[in-house]
Amino acid sequence: MFTFNDIFKSSFLSQAGGVTANPLLMTVSVVLLITFSVLIRIVYKKTFRGVMYSKTFGTSLSLVVLVTGFVIMAISSNVILSLGMVGALSIIRFRTAVKDPMDITYMFWAVGLGITTGAGLFFIAVLLFIVITIFLLTTAKEILFDQPYLFVFSCINESAEHDVMRILNEAVKKTKLRSKIVSKERIEISVELCLQKNKKTLFVSEISALPGVSSASLLSAEGDLSI
């Protein structure tokens, strides 16, 4: 019966194995890692729903796929090396604030692609990429049509406010009053709205040209539509 020390002293621990033992598998793994690193960045850009797209985060996703894949390829060839890598990674702490919960999902997806590809599980890696890509693209289409916007305008009286809301209700799909500030000089109103599928914003110019309207602004809002 082998003891724990006998196992660690055996030559089994130092011999090469995994993807690195086969040059063909290693080549396929590297090609897939590069392919996934490029495609995951494209998918992230296509499905991004925030206000400002971050090129840095897209590049980070590509690097996570590559780095994770190469690390898995390295530690799969030696059990002692893999144990040392686990110990090294256990002391790392990531404290970067994540603004969008979907960014965490993309990061886990990149890590998953790197692990499965680096371990030589090519079928699982390709299946993982295809399934999640289809899901994200389908979800992105639904989010795209319901992208929330915030329309802020100022007017001098209730009559001008009525004219603005009439044009607004005809031009957009949904509206919801968010705030109304009334002072002696003017009325300032914020309206959450959802544009039509054609995404036309000509109503902003039409409203700003109305008598009694001093300003009109359309802003892209973060988060989900509450209408």
Among 103, 120, 144, where does a domain finish? 144
Q: Would residue 160 count as lying in a domain?
A: yes
- In this structure, the answer to whether residues 123 and 166 fall within a common structural domain is no
- In this structure, the answer to whether residues 185 and 86 fall within a common structural domain is no
- In this structure, the answer to whether residues 189 and 206 fall within a common structural domain is yes
Low-confidence ranges of the chain (pLDDT < 70): 1-21, 49-52, 77-100, 140-146, 197-199, 221-227
Q: Would residue 225 count as lying in a domain?
A: no
Q: Rounded to whole angstroms, what are the CA distances from 71 to 18, 117, 217?
A: 12, 11, 50
CA diameter of the chain: 93
- In this structure, the answer to whether residues 64 and 152 fall within a common structural domain is no
Query: Tell me, what's the pLDDT at 16?
Result: 47
- In this structure, the answer to whether residues 166 and 137 fall within a common structural domain is no
- In this structure, the answer to whether residues 111 and 169 fall within a common structural domain is no
Q: Would residue 227 count as lying in a domain?
A: no
- Print the SS3 string covering 135-171: HHHHHHHHHHHCCEEEEEEEECCHHHHHHHHHHHHHH
Query: Tell me, what's the pLDDT at 12?
Result: 46
> Whole domain around residue 197: which residue ranges?
147-220
- In this structure, the answer to whether residues 137 and 180 fall within a common structural domain is no
Among 144, 169, 202, where does a domain finish? 144
- In this structure, the answer to whether residues 64 and 161 fall within a common structural domain is no
- In this structure, the answer to whether residues 74 and 183 fall within a common structural domain is no
Burial 52-63 (b: 16+ CB within 10 A, else e): eeeeebbebbbe
Mean confidence (pLDDT) of the chain: 78
Tokens 């009053």, residue located: 177
Please give the tally of structural domains in the chain: 2
